């Protein structure tokens, strides 16, 4: 690929400087009055159960949809150096779960399901505590007695977030086949990645910043920490023995039952080297690689043995993205002039 061809490809790409809510097509900076039709009829390919939930709780569903977007962004960050990097899941006005790849049983499928479910849990939990939703508020629970501080503030309502994520995400898995059962498991693993890592945050009260009185509350973990945890789960994902699945139990190939927090898959992943429309996989031609890396982003691995070109390019990419309730994303555009190695 010549430098002119590569620059031509860059110019032909859609602008990524400012991404609003691509699914709901809401181009707003203020919290809208959420008409159920705006949310439920715009978000594509809802199941009937999801649509009914959306009609009843449009504000919660809007937060859930934003949680899916946050999950896909985190998926792109965590797998940015891999041959399949989640980029095909973020298409304008598209439900990421409609991707053909998510109909398969790959490790990458497991990660996408888990990170999406985690995103919904995380976002709905936070929206509750911000007073954005009619159906929930702060979690006012007291987590035991402690002499060093008092429970107060406004804890993130992780219980409500987990329950709604389960109802909204699991309702698409109506079949009882191996694929649906593994999707349900991976959805739960994603929710658990948030629930099991809830953190205590505290604030001091007193004269001149002293800590005469300290109040604490529970908060969902930073989502990057959730992504890091699920990435480790992805790297250690467990293959399920299909022959045992018909018995109603998911069994690992070594005969043991997986843990609830494990990510599961049942099909060997393809190479993802070449474009494959059946899997909605773009291949790796044109991807930036690192010729000095020992990781999966090295040019030998990422370029699948096709080689690479060294080019000087002016590159623009989305950066410093911020998510706003409800339901959009604003990003800056960062531009770089640099020498890059690009897969042939």
* 207 inside domain: no
Given 268, 283, 298, the domain boundary residue is 283
Is the pLDDT assigned to residue 14 strictly greater than 50? Answer: no
Proportion of the chain above pLDDT 90, given as a percent: 51
**Residues 270-290: tens digit of each pLDDT:** 999 999 999 989 999 999 999
Residues 104 and 11 in one domain: no
Sign, CA dihedral 23-24-28-31, equals negative
Based on the fold, state whether residues 125 and 178 are members of the same structural domain: yes
- Residue 231, by phi and psi: left (phi above 0), alpha (psi -120 to 50) or beta? alpha
pLDDT confidence of 247, banded at 50, 70, 90? Answer: low
pLDDT score at 221: 94
| Length of the chain in terms of residues written | 344
Are 21 and 48 contained in the same domain?
A: no
How many domains does the chain contain in total? 2
**Whether 235 and 86 share a structural domain:** yes
Question: What is d(CA 305, CA 299) in angstroms, rounded to the nearest whole number?
Answer: 8
Q: pTM above 0.75?
A: yes
Torsion angle defined by CA atoms of residues 174, 176, 178 and 181, in that order, rounded to the nearest 10 degrees: 60
Task: Give the pLDDT confidence of 149-196 residue by residue, as tens digits.
Answer: 777 778 899 999 999 999 999 998 877 788 999 999 999 999 999 999
- pLDDT score at 212: 78
Show the tokens assigned to 93: 């006005």
Q: Is residue 318 part of a domain?
A: yes
Domain enclosing residue 22, as ranges: 1-30+288-344
Has residue 268 got a pLDDT over 50? Answer: yes
In angstroms, the CA 89 to CA 69 distance is 10
Query: Residue 323 pLDDT more than 80?
Result: no
**Mean pLDDT along residues 44-54:** 90
Bridge pairing between strands 150-151 and 213-219: parallel
Is 210 inside a domain boundary?
Answer: no
246, pLDDT greater than 80:
no
**Residue 141 in 3-state DSSP?**
coil
Do 66 and 123 lie in one domain? The reply is: yes
Check whether residue 124 and residue 26 sit in a common domain: no
> Strands across the sheet with 308-324, in order?
288-289, 328-343, 308-324
The pLDDT value given to residue 23: 41
Q: Is 21's pLDDT higher than 60? A: no
Q: Which residues of 9-19 are buried (b: 16+ CB within 10 A; e: fewer)?
A: eeeeeeeeeeb
Co-location of 321 and 335 in the same domain: yes
The more confident residue out of 119 and 5 is: 119
To the nearest 10 degrees (0 to 180), the angle between helices 107-129 and 158-170 is: 140
| Residues 88, 228 within the same domain | yes
Q: In the prediction, which pLDDT does 17 show?
A: 33
226 compared with 340, residue with greater pLDDT: 226
pLDDT at 202: 86
Range list of β-strands (E), 193-307: 199-205, 213-219, 238-239, 264-265, 288-289
More confident: 43 or 231? 231
| Same domain membership, residue 296 and residue 224 | no
Q: Residue 211 falls within a domain, yes or no?
A: no
- Is-contact 41 94, C-beta < 8 A? no
Same domain, 242 and 179: yes
pLDDT of residue 282: 92
Strands in 199-205's sheet, in edge-to-edge order, are 150-151, 213-219, 199-205
Q: What pLDDT, on the 0 to 100 scale, is given for residue 152? A: 76
- What is the chain's mean pLDDT, rounded? 83
Question: What pLDDT does 25 receive?
Answer: 43
- The reply to whether 293 and 173 lie within a common domain is no
User: Quick one: 250 and 301 in the same domain?
Assistant: no
């Amino acid at each position: 690929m010549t430098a002119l061809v590569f620059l031509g490809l860059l110019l032909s790409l859609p602008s990524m400087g400012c991404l609003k809510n691509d699914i709901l097509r809401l181009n707003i900076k203020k919290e809208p009055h959420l008409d159920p039709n705006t949310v439920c009829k715009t978000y594509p390919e809802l199941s009937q159960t999801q649509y009914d939930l959306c009609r009843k709780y449009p504000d919660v569903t809007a937060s859930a949809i934003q949680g899916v977007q946050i999950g896909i962004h985190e998926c792109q960050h965590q797998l940015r150096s891999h041959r399949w990097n989640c980029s095909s899941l973020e298409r304008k006005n598209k439900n990421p779960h409609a991707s053909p790849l998510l109909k398969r049983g790959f490790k990458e499928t497991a990660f996408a399901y888990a990170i999406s479910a985690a995103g919904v849990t995380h976002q709905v939990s936070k929206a509750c505590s911000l007073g954005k939703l009619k159906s929930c508020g702060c979690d006012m629970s007291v987590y035991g007695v402690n002499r060093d501080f008092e429970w107060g503030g406004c804890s993130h309502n992780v219980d409500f977030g987990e329950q709604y994520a389960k109802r909204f995400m699991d309702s698409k898995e109506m079949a009882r086949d191996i694929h649906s059962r593994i999707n349900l498991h991976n959805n739960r693993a994603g929710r658990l990645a948030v629930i099991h890592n809830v953190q205590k945050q505290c604030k001091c009260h007193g004269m001149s910043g002293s800590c005469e009185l300290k109040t604490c509350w529970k908060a969902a973990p930073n989502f990057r920490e959730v992504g890091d945890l699920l990435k480790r789960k992805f790297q250690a994902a467990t293959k399920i023995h299909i022959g045992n699945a018909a018995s109603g139990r998911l069994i690992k190939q070594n005969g043991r039952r997986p843990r609830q927090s494990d990510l599961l898959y049942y099909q060997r992943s393809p190479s993802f080297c070449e474009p494959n429309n059946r899997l909605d996989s773009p291949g790796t031609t044109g991807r930036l690689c690192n010729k000095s890396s020992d990781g999966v982003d090295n040019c030998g691995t990422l370029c699948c043995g096709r080689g690479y070109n060294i080019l000087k390019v002016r590159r623009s990419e989305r950066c410093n993205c911020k998510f706003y309730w409800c339901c959009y994303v604003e990003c800056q555009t960062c531009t770089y002039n640099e020498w890059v190695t690009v897969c042939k």
